[in-house]
Amino acid sequence: MIDWSIQGEELANCNCNFGCPCQFSVLPTDGNCEAAVVFDIKKGHYGNVKLDGLRAAAVYKWPSAIHEGNGEMQLIIDEQANVAQRAALQAILTGEDTDDMATFWWVFAAMAPNKHETLYKSISADLNAEDRIGIVNVSDVFEIDARPIPHIMNGTPHRARINLPNGFEFGQAEAACGSTTTTGGAISLDKNQRTHAHFASLHLTGAGVVR
């Protein structure tokens, strides 16, 4: 397999309650899973291809729990990426050159056999994990607006973390409140309004999460 590594920041918004049942090996809140995700790559490579400074995004949709499969997905890759970088990100984000079940990209791709054509778009991402604030715009595809979870009593920012010592996506994430608006692309999301979001620092290779 080609050696690769990705280090960067992730913001994901799904349709479930805060905390996301998947993180606790529990069925989805409404029985299905819909998500939009952005990856802000700080440092990365795929073989000799450098990936520093690029971004990628994805929209996923499953009719039931992710592990039950039959989902659909669409990748969006930074339009600034060259031909080699586009091919590299396509391979990584679809689980190629990855040990079986070692990363969430491998799992998501395996559980989403309905893969739509990859798009190449402008991707902006202003992510502040410490304050749980994030604004994402994937041109003509989707927007994410993430904010702190409001405290149930007084609406002040509530802070909670998800810690996964054996996770295949991240080790720790900041939980947030997110909303996604799809504006184009092949997959429409209509349940992701003030639902679970998380910010996470990623460090992944073909062997899984680097701890």
Per-residue pLDDT at 175: 98
pLDDT bin (cut points 50, 70, 90) of residue 7 is: very high
DSSP 98: S
Quick one: average pLDDT of 15-29? 96
Quick one: average pLDDT of 90-100? 98
| pTM higher than the cut 0.75 | yes
Quick one: average pLDDT of 64-76? 97
Domains in the chain (CATH in brackets) are 4-209 (2.40.400)
Contacts of 121-125 with CB under 8 Å at 24 or more apart are 121/76, 121/77, 121/78, 121/79, 122/78, 122/79, 123/38, 123/55, 123/56, 123/57, 123/76, 123/78, 123/79, 125/9, 125/11, 125/38, 125/40, 125/55
Quick one: average pLDDT of 178-201? 97
Quick one: average pLDDT of 76-91? 98
Per-residue pLDDT at 209: 98
pLDDT in tens, 33-60: 999 999 999 999 999 999 999 999 999 9
The answer to whether residues 57 and 85 touch, using CB atoms and an 8 Å cutoff, is: no
Instruction: For residue 56, give the nearest of 198, 202, 176, 188 by alpha carbon.
Output: 202
